[in-house]
């Protein structure tokens, strides 16, 4: 589910929504930091999440921070997280539903920041709230829609969630409200967006092709990992590193 085998071109064709979101991340980031005098500063000032400005009617600030980042590490790790954890859901939900749950999770995370953080809360930006919304969807699937996610990926998701949620409270610069309520929003919206999603029906095959059982003389030899297993382990390690980067960027 989380192992990527596509080349760059096939990834763009297979996951147009995620590709588009990452492209927006990149364009806005480069514009803000490479061309500040050509509107980059204005984008930053008008787009950053700022509770006092939201209270004064600038409601677009509940949306724009989802696509903006404050540093290269912030941009890279959020974008990597989306590329790693988003494709399975875009393929499962379809483009419209994926966009809906991603944006709603991010917006609800920013609304929670507005109400719970108060008017004096520090300016904030980043896609973390929306990304944690995707984690919330995976948690719901792991608990209530086991037909949509296999056991190995479910265990991986749970491990990443535990790490991510614990580390959220370690870094004092993290917008805790966005992480927690983006996650809650994704889990709460999941049963709505997963309605009528077709169940996965695994194909079963017989363990034995015939009735004859024979002794394998090589059964006690040390087994080598299958290349696909090695690749899966590497992607799991990479996923954990991305989560740490997402938290400690």
List 79, 105, 128, 142, catalytic entry: 128
Alpha-helical (H) ranges within the chain are 8-14, 16-34, 40-47, 51-55, 72-85, 87-93, 95-117, 128-144, 151-168, 176-193, 227-248
Annotated catalytic residue 105: no
* Of 179, 206, 214, 226, catalytic: 179
d(CA 47, CA 137): 27
37 is annotated as an active-site residue? no
Residue 88 to residue 104: CA distance in whole angstroms: 18
Cα separation of 163 and 10, whole Å? 31
The closest of 106, 33, 35 to 72, measured between CA atoms, is: 33
Positions marked catalytic: 128, 179
């Amino acid at each position: 589910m989380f192992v990527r085998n596509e080349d760059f071109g096939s990834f763009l064709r297979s996951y147009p929504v995620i590709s588009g979101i990452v492209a927006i991340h990149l364009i806005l980031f480069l514009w803000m930091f490479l061309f500040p005098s050509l509107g980059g500063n204005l984008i930053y000032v008008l787009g950053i999440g700022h509770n006092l400005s939201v209270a004064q009617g600038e409601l677009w600030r509940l949306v724009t921070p989802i696509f903006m980042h404050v540093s290269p590490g912030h941009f890279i790790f959020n974008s990597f997280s989306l590329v790693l954890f988003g494709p399975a859901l875009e393929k499962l939900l379809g483009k419209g539903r994926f966009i809906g749950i991603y944006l709603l999770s991010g917006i609800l995370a920013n609304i929670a920041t507005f109400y719970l953080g108060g008017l004096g809360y520090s300016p904030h930006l980043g896609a973390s709230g929306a990304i944690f919304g995707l984690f919330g969807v995976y948690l719901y699937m792991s608990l209530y829609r086991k037909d949509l996610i296999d056991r190995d990926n479910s265990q991986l998701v749970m491990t990443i969630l535990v790490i991510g949620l614990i580390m959220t409270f370690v870094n004092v610069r993290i917008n805790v409200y966005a992480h927690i309520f983006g996650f809650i929003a994704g889990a709460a919206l999941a049963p709505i967006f997963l309605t009528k999603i077709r169940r996965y029906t695994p194909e079963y095959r017989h363990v034995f092709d015939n009735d004859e059982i024979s002794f394998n003389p090589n059964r006690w030899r040390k087994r080598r990992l299958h290349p696909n297993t090695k690749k899966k382990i590497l992607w799991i390690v990479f996923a954990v590193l991305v989560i740490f980067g997402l938290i400690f960027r």
